[in-house]
Amino acid sequence: ATAPADWDRPLEGKVAVVTGAARGIGATIAEVFARDGAKVIVADIPAAGEALSATANKVGGTALALDVTAPDAAEKLAEFATERFGGIDIIVHNAGITRDKLLANMDEGRWKAVLEVNLAAPHRITEGLVARGALKAGGRVIDVSSIAGIAGNRGQTNYGASKAGVIGMVDAESPKLAEHGITINAVAPGFIETAMTAAIPLGTREAGRLLSSLYQGGQTVDVAETIAYFAGPASNAVSGNVVRVCGQALI
Ligand code: NAI
C-alpha cells in the first residue's frame, strides 16, 4: 500500500463514532478525530444532553443520544449512521462507569451495572453493527480497557473484571473481525485526570497518580492520541493489541 496523500488529515472522509463523548476522554477523542479530518458522531446518555451538544458543536460533529446498554443500541446507531453518512468506519467504545465498593459490599446491582456498560455493551454493539453491515471493510474498533483490568484495584472487583474482560474480548474478536477487514485494538489508560478520577477519595487518587512513572495523572489527550493511531492509516496491519497509556507504568 502507498502512504495516504495527506498525513496531516489521516482520517479525512472517515465516519467515526465515539461513545461517552459528552466529557472526559471521550470528548477529547472527538476533538482529535475532528482535527484529523473525520466526521464525528458523538454519543452519550440522554441525560448528558447539553454537554453532548457542546462537544458536538466544538468538533463540528453530530450528537446522538444513545445509552449503550439499550437493547436496540446497535440498531439505532446503525440506522442513524447509515442514513446520514452511509455507514461507520471507526467506533470507539469509550463509555464507561465505576461503582466502587469493597468486596463485602459489592452488591449485585453494582456488579451488573459496571459489567453491562463496560463489557457487554461494546460487544453487543460491535456484533450488531457488523451483522447489519454498518461497519465498513477497513473499519476500526477501539475498546477502552484500564490498568485496573491488568493490575487490579482495591474496591474495583466489578470494574477490574469488566476491563480485564475487554482485553479478552479484543483477543477473541480480532480474528473474527479480520474476516470483515476490520481491526480491533484497545487502550488501557492508567490514572487520567477526568471527572471519573476526581470522584476517587483523595488518598487513593494520589496513590493512582504515583503509580505512573511521570508521578502525575495523564491527560485525556494522551489517551486520545493513542486511539487516533489505532483509528488511522498508520495502524492498518495492527489488530488484537492492548496499549497501556499510563506513563511507563510502575505496575
Ligand atoms: P467520565 O466519567 O468523565 O466520562 C464517561 C462518559 O461516559 C460520560 O459522559 C457518561 O455520561 C458516559 N456514559 C456512561 N454510561 C453510559 C451509557 N450507558 N451510554 C452512553 N454513555 C455513557 O469518564 P472518563 O474518565 O472520561 O473515562 C472514559 C473511559 O476511559 C471509560 O471507559 C473509563 O473506564 C476509561 N478509563 C478511564 C481512566 C481514568 O483515569 N479516567 C483510566 C482507565 C480507563
Q: What is the DSSP string of 119-169?
A: IIHHHHHHHHHHHTT-EEEEEEEEEE--GGGTT--TT-HHHHHHHHHHHHH
- What mean pLDDT do residues 102-116 have? 93
- What mean pLDDT do residues 64-72 have? 98
Please tell me the distance from the alpha carbon of residue 38 to that of residue 15, in angstroms, as a whole number.
6
Contacts of 206 (CB under 8 A, 6+ apart): none
Please tell me the distance from the alpha carbon of residue 216 to that of residue 177, in angstroms, as a whole number.
36
> From the alpha carbon of 25, which atom of ligand 1 is closest?
26
Instruction: Specify the residue with its C-alpha closest to ligand 1, atom 33.
Output: 96
Q: 22 CA to middle of ligand 1, Å?
A: 9
Q: Which residues are bridge partners to 19 per DSSP?
A: 43
> From the alpha carbon of 52, which atom of ligand 1 is closest?
9
Ligand 1 lining (C-beta closer than 6 Å):
19-20, 22-26, 44-45, 48, 67-69, 94-97, 117, 144, 146, 189, 191-192, 194-197
Q: 96 CA to middle of ligand 1, Å?
A: 4
Instruction: Output Rg (C-alpha) for the chain, integer angstroms.
Output: 17
Q: What is the pLDDT of residue 215?
A: 85
| Band (212; pLDDT cuts 50, 70, 90) | confident
Q: What is the pTM of this model?
A: 0.97
Three-state DSSP class for residue 6: coil
Q: 6 CA to middle of ligand 1, Å?
A: 32
Average pLDDT, the chain: 94
> From the alpha carbon of 51, which atom of ligand 1 is closest?
9
Q: Is residue 248's pLDDT more than 70?
A: no
**Residue-wise pLDDT tens digits, 39-57:** 999 999 999 999 999 999 9
Q: Is residue 109's pLDDT more than 60?
A: yes
Q: What is the pLDDT of residue 49?
A: 92
- The set of catalytic residues is 159
Kindly provide the ipTM of the predicted complex, given to two decimals: 0.99
Side chain identity, residue 183: T
Three-state DSSP class for residue 185: strand
Q: What is the pLDDT of residue 31?
A: 98
